[in-house]
């Protein structure tokens, strides 16, 4: 498995299909990941690998969940947000075998570089 550019091009969330893009994002936008709610795309810096990519992937997944479920962070307490994120992450992992396999593979110490 290539940890720099994993083998998934779409993240499904319910009926949504979020296109995954790999580019030189760190140079163009000074960040590792960027979820565009208008275009329904998530862009990752193509040079990331290992734990940095895993952390960024999970970070962007949480943005996908919060936006698509209409979670109003300012209006809710900690527990409802944590519950919603847990439910959303479960939905993503159930619908996206390649994403799930990538996350699981990251916990193989040989691959977490």
pLDDT digits (tens, 9 = 90+) for 27-58: 988 899 999 999 999 999 988 877 788 889 99
Q: Please report whether residue 112 resides in a domain.
A: no
Packing angle of the helix pair 97-106, 78-95 (nearest 10 deg): 110
Residue 18 inside a domain? The answer is yes
Is 52 part of any domain? yes
Domain with residue 57: its CATH number is: 1.10.10
Q: Is residue 1 part of a domain?
A: no
Structural domain contains residue 5 = no
- 68-86 b/e (C-beta count within 10 Å ≥ 16 → b): beebeeeeeeeeebeebbe
95 domain-assigned: yes
Longest CA span, the chain: 42
At residue 5, the pLDDT reads: 56
User: Cβ distance 78 to 84 under 8 Å?
Assistant: no
The answer as to whether 90 is a domain residue is: yes
The pLDDT tens digits of the residues spanning 63-93 come to 999 999 998 888 877 788 888 898 999 999 9
Residue 48's domain spans which residues?
A: 10-106
DSSP labels for 86-97?
A: HHHHHHHHHH-H
Domains of the chain: total? 1
Helix (H, G, I), strand (E, B) or coil at 36: strand
């Amino acid at each position: 498995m290539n940890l720099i550019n994993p083998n998934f091009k779409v993240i499904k969330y319910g009926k949504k299909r979020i296109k995954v893009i790999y580019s030189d994002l760190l140079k163009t936008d000074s960040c590792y990941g960027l979820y565009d709610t208008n275009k329904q795309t998530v862009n990752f810096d193509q040079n990331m690998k290992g734990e940095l990519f895993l952390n960024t992937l999970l970070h962007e997944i949480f943005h996908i969940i919060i936006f698509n479920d209409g979670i109003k962070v300012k209006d809710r307490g900690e527990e409802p947000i944590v519950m919603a994120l847990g439910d959303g992450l479960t939905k993503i992992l159930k619908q996206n075998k390649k994403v799930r396999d990538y996350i699981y593979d990251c916990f193989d110490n040989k691959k977490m570089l």
